[in-house]
Amino acid sequence: MAEEKSEKPPAADFTREITSRLGGETIVHCYQCGTCASTCPVARTAEERYNPRQIIRLALLGQREEVLKGDAIWLCASCYNCQERCPQKVEVADVIYALRNLAIREGIIPAIYTEFAAGLTSEGRIVPISKFLEKKRADSGLPPLKPTGIEALKKILSATGFDKIMFKKEGVSQ
């Protein structure tokens, strides 16, 4: 069903906003043990820029602006180590997706995601396949690609309001 751009809720309700979204339900179980941060390959490589425990802490303290407008939520590599090892079964990676979903609804979206969305809505693939490459398949002995279900996909995207979500294309604050 179509989702209109919602009014900004008060910061104190940020937790509820997250838990009511698909993926964000388990954020409230977090007791800040730091296992996720310790096991995160991104945190281990660039800890000043990314710490999943800290993102959750900021979110639970209601710091909506800082979380959604920040650079950090885009730095998760979706490796799921955190979710695998969390002793409270917080779905950390899914919570990050939920936060990204919220940020995009505010119009905050890194360029690369716009590209992915464009590929999806035009061709049904996030990485478009050039006609040149398609022709080259036969040379290697690969069968021709079957057409994608772009028409059906468009109906699905319209039903969920995906196209409306993508209406703003601002950059992200670093």
Partner 1 sequence: MTSYALFLGCTIPARQPHYELAARKALTKLGINLIDLEGMTCCAPPPLQSIDLETSLAISAYNICLAEEADLNIVTLCTGCFESLAIANHLLKEKSQLREKVNKILANAGKEFKGTKEVRHYLQVLMNDVGINSLKQNVVKPLDKLKVAAFSGCHLLRPSELLRFDDPERPRVFDTLIEALGAKSIPYKNKLRCCGGLLRGYADDIALAIARDKIVNAHNAGADCISTLCPFCFLTLDLGQMLIKTTYKEEYNMPIIHYAELLSLSLGVEPKELALDFHKVKIDKILEKIG
Partner 2 sequence: MTVRKGSFRQSKGKRKVRAKVKTMEETKVGVFLSDCGGQIAKILDFEALTNFVKGVPGVTLVARGSEFWRGEGLKTIVDAVKAKKINRVVVAESIPKISEVAIAKAVEEAGLNPYMVEVIDLKDHCAWPHKDTPQEATEKAKAMLLAAIEKAKLQEPIEKAEFPAVKSVLVIGGGLAGMQAAEDLADMGFQVYLVEKEPFLGGLAAKAVRFFPTDDCAICIQSPTTNLKAVAQTSRKCVYRSGFSEIPNLNVLTNAKVVKVVGEPGNFHVTVERKPRYVNEKKCVACDLCTSVCPVEVPDEYNAKLTKRKAIYINKPLVYPPAYAIDAKACKFHECAKCVEICPTKAIELDQKPEQVTLNVGSIIVATGFREYDPSVIKEYHYGEYPDVITHLELARMLDAFGPTKGVPVKPSNMKPAKRIVFVQCVGSRDRRWNPYCSSICCMISLKHATMIKEAFPDADVTICYIDIRTTGREHEYYYERAREMGVKFVKGRPSEIIHDPATDTLIVEVEDELLRRLLELEADLVVLATAMVPSEDTKELAQILGLELDQDGFFKEYNAKLRPTETKRRGIYLCGGTVFPKDAPTTSLHAHSAAVKAAKFLMNGKIVKDLKVAVVNGDYCGNCQFCPVTCPYGAISLEPQGNGHFVAKVSELLCEGCGVCVGTCPVGAIELRHLKPSQISAQIKALLSVNGTSKPLVLAFSCSECGHAAVDSSGMAMMSYPANVRVLRVPCTGVIQVQHILEAFKAGAQGVMVVGCKPDGCHYEAGSQKAKQKVEMAKVLLKTYGIEPERLEMLNLVFIEGDKFAEAAKAMTERVERLGALQLA
Instruction: Please name which of 94, 83, 77 lies closest in space to residue 41, comparing C-alpha atoms.
Output: 77
**Residue 124 near residue 115, CB atoms below 8 Å:** no
Could you tell me the two tokens for 13? 């309700």
DSSP state of 13: G
**Residue 153 near residue 120, CB atoms below 8 Å:** yes
**Helix 150-160 to helix 111-123 angle, to the nearest 10 degrees?**
130
- Report in angstroms how near the CB of residue 120 gets to partner 2 at its nearest: 35
- Residue 127 binds to partner 1 (criterion: CB under 8 A): yes
Identity at 151, one-letter amino acid code:
E
- Residue 49 binds to partner 2 (criterion: CB under 8 A): no
Instruction: Report the partner that residue 38 touches, choosing among partner 1, partner 2, none (CB closer than 5 to 8 A by kind).
Output: partner 2
Instruction: Report the partner that residue 33 touches, choosing among partner 2, partner 1, none (CB closer than 5 to 8 A by kind).
Output: partner 2
**Helix 92-105 to helix 52-60 angle, to the nearest 10 degrees?**
60
- Report in angstroms how near the CB of residue 92 gets to partner 2 at its nearest: 12
Instruction: Report the partner that residue 55 touches, choosing among partner 2, partner 1, none (CB closer than 5 to 8 A by kind).
Output: none
- Residue 59 binds to partner 1 (criterion: CB under 8 A): no
- Residue 54 binds to partner 2 (criterion: CB under 8 A): yes
Closer CB to partner 2, 4 or 48, in the complex = 48
Spatial distance between the Cα atoms of 102 and 106, rounded to a whole number of angstroms: 7
**Residue 162 near residue 137, CB atoms below 8 Å:** no
Q: Which residues bind partner 1 (CB under 8 A)?
A: 1, 21-23, 41-42, 45-46, 49-50, 74-75, 77-81, 83-84, 91, 93-94, 97-98, 100-101, 104, 109-110, 112-113, 115-117, 119-120, 124-130, 133, 136-137, 140-143, 145-150, 152-153, 155-160, 162, 165-166
